[in-house]
Amino acid sequence: MDAAASLIAEWEDLLARRPAFRDSLGLYGAVLEAWGRWSPEGSPVLRWGPEHCRERWERGVSLIVEAPPTFDREALEPLFAPLLEELAALGEEEGEALSRFAAAWDEGRFAPRELLPGLQKEGGRALSETLGISPDLVNFVTYLGLRPPLETYFAEARAAFSPDLWDAGACPFCTGAPSFGDIGEDGKRWLCCALCGGRWTIGRLRCPFCDNRDAKTLTRLAAEDQEEGYLVEACDLCRGYLKGVDRRTRWNAASALIEDWGTPHLDLIARRRGYWRATPSLIQLAPPLDEA
């Protein structure tokens, strides 16, 4: 995955800017190395033509729902094995949960695609209960283990997408919730999916989680001074929040994924105000000591 090399460079650059996070966020570096070693050769690619893709988007359907990928378990091992190892080091409980996950994986008790939010049975509760693993942990494994093959899967479909075809809070490719917001040079608000790397736009004053459009109940926390350009957009109806960056003031910001990983202090600010995050993050699994 060529993209992994530039993500690794961005990540190194971010840690140089925020050295205090180097130890606590070490897991992400190991994940990026696994992504860099993984070869997309032979991994499935969605071969739908532009009309097929657009027809789904016009109906408001994310592509994955009508074209679920069939991933080869063995081909994913180089992504999952190092990830499970890193995560198991978080604690005894996680270690045990992940060995149950690994055993079920080896025995073929679930297909890799059953991990995907858009294809999970009963919203993922069934798998999480069968395996005895918290939904947060299953989701975290999914997001970090399946990103490279999902990027490969949607590589051709991306070209068919244009923002005017889609007007929803969820990812037009994989149904994932947005994990980061990008205010572009043009002032447009882009939502970024950490699961597949998809991007789409919705209005500035709109909650992507519950569709609330009332400015009175939409809260925007803007960082100041050194952190100028970073923001947290939250909804006081559903209490969901989304971190983001305004590239008009923060022109040198890294990609959405790297900026999301590298700003756990903004997650803490949102959590302390009682807001929740829709996509998995290390901070949910290993909260700082004063919150544990």
Strands (E), 143-289: 180-183, 189-192, 199-201, 218-222, 230-235, 240-246, 276-277
Told to check if 176 binds Zn ion by CB under 5 A, we report yes
What letter does residue 283 receive in the DSSP assignment? H
> How far is the C-alpha of 229 from the C-alpha of 259, rounded, in Å?
12
Q: Could you tell me which stretch among 88-96, 132-140, 210-218, 251-259 binds Zn ion (CB under 5 A)?
A: 210-218
Q: Which of 183, 193, 231, 253 binds Zn ion (CB under 5 A)?
A: 193
Q: Annotate each residue in 118-157 with x if it binds Zn ion (CB under 5 A) or - if it does not, as one string.
A: ----------------------------------------
Closest CA to 288 of 21, 51, 9, 11: 21
47-86: contacts with Zn ion (CB under 5 A)? none
Told to check if 258 binds Zn ion by CB under 5 A, we report no
Are 229 and 246 in contact by the 8 Å Cβ rule? The answer is yes
Residue closer to Zn ion (CB basis): 15 or 195? 195
Residue closer to Zn ion (CB basis): 97 or 275? 275
Told to check if 253 binds Zn ion by CB under 5 A, we report no
Residue closer to Zn ion (CB basis): 103 or 237? 237
Residue 214 CB, shortest distance to Zn ion, in Å, is 10
Told to check if 207 binds Zn ion by CB under 5 A, we report yes
Are 67 and 113 in contact by the 8 Å Cβ rule? The answer is no
Strands (E), 152-188: 180-183
Q: Which of 210, 218, 221, 268 binds Zn ion (CB under 5 A)?
A: 210
Told to check if 173 binds Zn ion by CB under 5 A, we report yes
Told to check if 245 binds Zn ion by CB under 5 A, we report no
Residue 276 forms beta bridges with which residues? 240
* H helix intervals, the chain: 2-17, 26-37, 50-58, 63-66, 73-88, 92-106, 125-131, 135-153, 256-261, 264-272, 282-285
**The pair of three-digit structure tokens given for residue 97, joined into one six-digit string:** 């949960």
Q: Which of 157, 234, 235, 278 binds Zn ion (CB under 5 A)?
A: 235
Per CB under 5 A, residues contacting Zn ion are: 171, 173-174, 176, 193, 195-196, 198, 207, 209-210, 212, 235, 237-238
